[in-house]
Amino acid sequence: MKIKKSNSREKILAAAADVAREAGPGNLSLEAVASRAGVSKGGLLYNFPSKAKLMQALVEEYLGDFQQAMETARAQEPDKSLLATYLRLSAQECDDTKDAASWIFSAIAEDPDFLTPLKTFKRQLFAQLKAETPNLKALLVTYLAMEGLRSLSLFEIGLLAEDERQVLIDSLLEIANG
């Protein structure tokens, strides 16, 4: 889903996500991020005056990237429902980046208020899905199942075998398109 970005702010955000993923929740250091990004600590602090601001930017970028991916997919496949697009991109995200958003734990450990933009995004997304999906039962089943799959992936709970996971995703897409 991500497109390579070249400015120092984006390099710092990519490095912060990598460091948080590798170091574990709450162990992100500004020095490690600056080193990974190839910038001075002063350069990092110029872009992000505090660790909290860096983590906030990570959360916002993650949500913005997902929203942009949905808009791009909808423009490329206008005949697909928003629900099917959401399901496909969410499944892809779980596949592509098994621990992609594990840095969210670091952000939440830093400041529990970082859940606020995530909650807002999910509420807005669900409202949009609800407005565009005529079958409420299909929406509820597919949305909540995908969010469950996302949680299993985020917490690295290998509950489903790969073939079982694929059956689930195929079934969700069938329900969404049916």
- 132 inside domain: yes
Residue with tokens 């609800």, as numbered in its chain? 130
DSSP string, the chain: ------SHHHHHHHHHHHHHHHH-TT---HHHHHHHHT--HHHHHHH-SSHHHHHHHHHHHHHHHHHHHHHHHHHH-TTS-HHHHHHHHHHHHHHHTTTTTTHHHHHHHH-GGGHHHHHHHHHHHHHHHHHH-S-HHHHHHHHHHHHHHHHHHHTT---S-HHHHHHHHHHHHHHHH-
Domain encompassing residue 97: 8-177
21-42 pLDDT tens trace:
787 656 778 999 999 999 999 9
Convert the pLDDT of each residue in 86-110 to its tens digit: 999 999 888 765 455 666 666 676 6
The answer as to whether 172 is a domain residue is yes
Give the count of domains, the chain.
1
Give tens-digit pLDDT for 35-89.
999 999 999 999 999 888 888 888 888 889 899 999 999 999 988 899 999 999 9
- pTM confidence score: 0.78
Report if residue 1 sits inside a domain: no
Is pLDDT at 4 greater than 50 in this prediction?
no
What CATH number corresponds to the domain at position 97? 1.10.357.10
Query: Is residue 117 scored above 80 in pLDDT?
Result: yes
* pLDDT digits 0-9 by tens, 118-150: 889 999 999 999 999 999 999 999 999 999 998
pLDDT of residue 3: 46
Instruction: Give CA–CA dist 146/85, Å, rounded.
Output: 12
Distances (CA, A) of 78 to 9, 84, 99, 155, 171: 33, 11, 30, 33, 21
Residue 105 lies in a domain: yes
What is the pLDDT, as a whole number, of residue 26? 66
Place of tokens 């984006």: 10
Look at residue 110 and tell me if it is in a domain. Answer: yes
Residue at 167 is within a domain:
yes
Q: Is the pLDDT of residue 5 over 50?
A: no
Q: Is residue 2 part of a domain?
A: no
Within-domain flag for 111: yes
